[in-house]
Amino acid sequence: ETGVTQSPTHLIKTRGQQVTLRCSSQSGHNTVSWYQQALGQGPQFIFQYYREEENGRGNFPPRFSGLQFPNYSSELNVNALELDDSALYLCASSLGGAENIQYFGAGTRLSVL
Amino acid sequence: TQLLEQSPQFLSIQEGENLTVYCNSSSVFSSLQWYRQEPGEGPVLLVTVVTGGEVKKLKRLTFQFGDARKDSSLHITAAQTGDTGLYLCAGAPVLGGSQGNLIFGKGTKLSVKP
């Protein structure tokens, strides 16, 4: 049990819609990272938030955006959903640092029809 | 672009056999983490290796970090059906990575049959 919780667990949307995914970080962790995991692939880094500021971003378009709140929980927002956005979205929390040890939630399975 | 190549991609063995999974890159990592992921779940951290040449043991699992910190291996002795799952390696880049990024391999899907 990592203490990282994500909601909802499953979500079905149609192309063009918008979606918000939520994550509560493990107690004491001030850094949250979001990843997209397509079927049969390893997770791909979307972005990271540290103390409510974006702290790094992967190769994802601007329609992927996020927020971090004062209690270190976080949201991932995706606008103008495309079919290829169907994936497992993972949130990971950490204390940062060079070793970057991250603890993952169970993920949100998003299906775009 | 920094990549982590994992091999083999799929592995099906009988209970009691030994196996090794490899994770290779041309890039140097400040640390490398191994995760195990069950279907429909998030990755669960198994171990973190930090020092070149480091070896860590977790019961029947042995993890090694290459001397140059570019590669790693996971060896399982006497595999059990409970070891079935997707094994992922993930590296924290030393240079050039987007801050906060963990680079993941595609994973090794292990199936241990009774």
pLDDT 10s digits, B36-45: 999 888 999 9
Q: Mean of the per-residue pLDDT values for chain B?
A: 92
For A48, the closest chain B residue by CA position comes to: B100
Number of H helices and number of E strands within chain B?
Answer: 0, 11
How confident is residue A98, by pLDDT bands cut at 50, 70 and 90? Answer: low
Q: What residues of A are in the B interface, CB distance below 8 Å? A: 2, 4, 6, 31, 33, 35, 40-45, 47-48, 50, 55-58, 90, 92, 96, 98-107, 109
Under DSSP, the state recorded for B81 is G
> How far apart, in Å, are the Cα atoms of B66 and each of A32, A44, B47?
29, 24, 15
Nearest to B106 among A41, A48, A102 (CB): A41
What is the reported pLDDT for A13?
97
- Give A4-20 pLDDT, tens digit per residue: 999 999 999 999 999 99
Sign of CA dihedral A106, A109, A110, B2: positive
C-alpha to C-alpha distance for A74 and B30, rounded to whole angstroms: 26
What is the reported pLDDT for B95?
63
> How far apart, in Å, are the Cα atoms of B80 and each of B3, B6, B17, B42, B112?
30, 21, 8, 21, 6
Which are the contacts of A110, defined by CB distance < 8 A and separation ≥ 6? A11, A12, A13, A19, A21, A78, A85, A86, A87, A88, A89
Q: Which residue has the tokens 């030393």?
A: B94
Contacts of B33 in chain A (CB under 8 A): 101-102
Q: Do B30 and A98 touch (CB under 8 A)?
A: yes
- For A108, the token pair is 């949100």
Q: Do B40 and A109 touch (CB under 8 A)?
A: yes
Residue B97 in this model has a pLDDT that exceeds 60: no
Cβ(A24)–Cβ(A5) below 8 Å: yes
Q: Mean of the per-residue pLDDT values for chain A?
A: 92
Give the lowest-confidence range in A63-77, B25-39, B85-99: B85-99
What is the reported pLDDT for A42?
92
For chain B, the maximum distance between any two Cα atoms, rounded to a whole number of angstroms, is 45
Q: Do B98 and A58 touch (CB under 8 A)?
A: yes
Please identify among residues 22-81 of chain B the ones whose CB lies closer than 8 Å to any CB of chain A.
30-31, 33, 35, 40-45, 48, 50
Contacts of A39 in chain B (CB under 8 A): none
- For A15, the token pair is 């192309």
**Percent of chain B scoring above 70 in pLDDT:** 93
How confident is residue B102, by pLDDT bands cut at 50, 70 and 90? Answer: confident
Give the lowest-confidence range in B7-11, B97-101, B110-114: B97-101
How confident is residue A94, by pLDDT bands cut at 50, 70 and 90? Answer: confident
